[in-house]
Every structure is written in structure tokens, then in C-alpha cells.
Amino acid sequence: MAIVRYLVLFIAFLTLMQIPALNEWAFWRRTAIADGEWWRILTGNLTHTNSWHLLMNSLAFFLIGFIFRRHLRPLPYTALIVLISIAIGSAIWWSDINNYAGLSGTLHGLFIWGALQDIRHHDRLGWALLVGVIVKNAMEWYSGGSAVTSGLINARVAYEAHTLGLVCGALIGLLSFYWPRTTLRKQTR
């Protein structure tokens, strides 16, 4: 199955981004972006604060890709990841966050996009997934994020990035309702 190979390769790439020199070069830092290091708007989403953070995001990435595999092809999925990541990295600029790392905002966008694809293809489970991710996000806003997760990743849970991902993934997912089904979906083997 081509998409499983893609997911594994992407996780290997995320792991390489943990090499200290690469991680430092890619981490989302407000001061570095202000100094012209614009690539960090994208690459900050590909870095992680520690191994636990990488492991949690990698597992979530694999599960999301596996759950929604019938809607995925590697090139369009990569474009979706890049688009959501750039939107999150850009929007964080307008928040009070000074440093950001992690794929979780993008993961939320991919998840809601996938749930909308399920709905679009008349899979009723998509509605449950859609409601579930919205409720999860609302609970994060109410509680400020999981203290356990925060302890594991040695950073505050950036639930604002999760919301930004949801909004971006939802917008792209809703736009797909207007695209011909044959251009978005190709069965993978």
C-alpha cells in the first residue's frame, strides 16, 4: 500500500528533523522570523521539543493517515500538509507565542479534512469524527490543554495551533465539496 510507505517515510523525515542542528535551524522562533528566517513558518511544524513529542505526533500522523487512507494520495496529501502548516505558522505570528514546535496543529487540520471527506463520501462515521475533534478542541480551550501532555513534551500545549489547524482543514475540506470527486479520490493499492 503506497500511502503506508508514504506515512513511514514522512515519520522518518520528522525524526531526522530532531537532529539538533536541523531542529535549531527549523524551530519556529519569533525573533528569527523577524530577522528574515521565513522558512521557520513552515518548518516549525516539522520540529518537536523532545522524543515524547515526536512519538505522540508521529503516532497520530500515522493513525490519521491510516484512518483516511482511502482519500489520500502522496502528492496532494503533502500539499495539504504544507498548506495547513504554512497557515498555522503564519497565524501564530499574530499571537503572543514566541516559540512553537510540533505537528499537532497540522494533525488537527488533517483530521477534520479527513472527517469531511468521509462525510462527502457518505460515510456516517465522518460526522462522529467531526463532532469528536470539535469537542476535544473546545475542551482544550476550556482547560488550557492537558497538563500530562505538557509535562511529557516539556512545553505548553499550543491549543491555539490546534484550532488554527481545525479552521484551515475545515476550509479546505469544505472547498472539496465543490470539486469533482474523481479529481480528489483515487484508490491506492
Given a cut of 60, whether residue 189 has pLDDT beyond it is: no
Architecture field, domain 2-184: Up-down Bundle (1.20)
pLDDT in tens, 108-125: 999 999 999 999 999 999
Given a cut of 80, whether residue 55 has pLDDT beyond it is: yes
pLDDT of amino acid 163 = 93
Q: What is the DSSP letter of 101?
A: -
Q: For 105-109, what is the mean pLDDT?
A: 97
Mean pLDDT of the chain: 90
Q: What is the DSSP code string of 138-176?
A: HHHHHHTS-HHHHHHHTS---HHHHHHHHHHHHHHHHHG
Sequence spans of domains, the chain: 2-184
Given a cut of 50, whether residue 183 has pLDDT beyond it is: no
The model carries a pTM of: 0.89
Q: For 166-186, what is the mean pLDDT?
A: 77
pLDDT in tens, 71-99: 999 999 999 999 999 999 999 999 999 99
Phi-psi category of 180—alpha, beta or left, where left has phi over 0 and alpha has psi -120 to 50? beta
